[in-house]
Amino acid sequence: MTVTLGTAVAALLGLGVGVGLLLLIIGWLGVDPARPRRVRPRRRQGASGDQRQALRMGLAVVIGLLTGLATGWVVGAVLAGLACWALPRVLGRDPEHARRVARIEAVATWTEMLRDTLSAAAGLEQAILATAPLAPPAIRGEITELAARIENGDRLAPSLRALADQLADPTGDLVIAALVLAAEQQARQLGDLLGSLAQAAREQASMRMRVEAGRTRTRTSVRMIVGTTLGFAVAVVLLNRPYLSAYDSVGGQVVLLIIGVLFSLGFGWLVRIARVTEPTRFLSITGDPTPSHSSQEGERQVEHL
């Protein structure tokens, strides 16, 4: 009876610590407050993301239950579920990074299209309307909405600021700040300025691709280590279960929990060092219909280019 009570207490403690560890990892690796967000995410993308999250959660629960049934370890079941939930994000591809790079390159391409159209003596509004159907796919929806607002008679500068919030990208802020200056103050040599901004955007995209190449090599090394470790653990559980009998006790479960915490901290550190710090946006109207000081300062920086 004492052994059973001790095992139950250990199981409850292991479950509580595992849930706390999950919340700690989510809080540490979660959304960065300085990270730019899209103001109006597309419903289809949001629904697809929710389905993937639900699938990952269901798979994590199933793997945790199977691990608990196979080993009798509550801590092992929690750690297996957490690993199934977190490892694909840590070791898999980074679709968000690819989306940001594609958006930066699309902004550069659209900027060059505006420059070339303006060189044909077209006005800024006419240039935007002419390039909207030809905009790169990564930003075509946002540019099409901008063209629709212009056709509906909205003022150009507020429409451009709304576009900046939709793109939610620091590079896009630079280009749109230049366009806002041109719309409000008739900026000189706008074509040359747009060409310089397009080149800067492409250089930033190239830099991000080089960073991602380094991250890919790191992920490959970690995949080999994790794959070898997990494969050995699964093989021992299936082929030589008595070898792991030390983990059946309360003390063994505590040791297993400590091992899981150390692995979690290592993976969390790996994610943090691989994260690219996003520049701070300076052009936004979210929650404030008047230009902020940082927005005005950013526009002055563009004006000096």
Percent above pLDDT 90 for the chain: 8
Nearest of 64, 14, 80 to residue 248 by alpha carbon: 14
Give the tens place of pLDDT for each residue, 267-281: 778 777 666 666 777
Band (pLDDT 50/70/90 cuts) for residue 33 is: very low
Asked if 137 and 14 sit in the same domain, the reply is no
Cα separation, 241 vs 71, in Å, equals 8
Asked if 290 and 188 sit in the same domain, the reply is yes
Asked if 61 and 133 sit in the same domain, the reply is no
- pTM value is 0.63
Asked if 12 and 146 sit in the same domain, the reply is no
Asked if 179 and 291 sit in the same domain, the reply is yes
Asked if 36 and 105 sit in the same domain, the reply is no
Band (pLDDT 50/70/90 cuts) for residue 19 is: low
Asked if 71 and 187 sit in the same domain, the reply is no
Asked if 127 and 73 sit in the same domain, the reply is no
Q: Is residue 220 part of a domain?
A: no
Cα separation, 297 vs 210, in Å, equals 30
Band (pLDDT 50/70/90 cuts) for residue 145 is: very high
Domain that holds residue 145: 99-204+282-303
Range in 24-33, 140-149, 199-208, 266-275 the model is least confident about: 24-33
What's residue 148's pLDDT? 93
The domain tally of the chain equals 2
Other residues' Cβ atoms within 10 Å of the Cβ of residue 202: 18
Residues 6 or more apart whose CB falls under 8 angstroms from that of 161 comprise: 176, 180, 283, 284, 285, 291
Asked if 13 and 144 sit in the same domain, the reply is no
Asked if 60 and 139 sit in the same domain, the reply is no
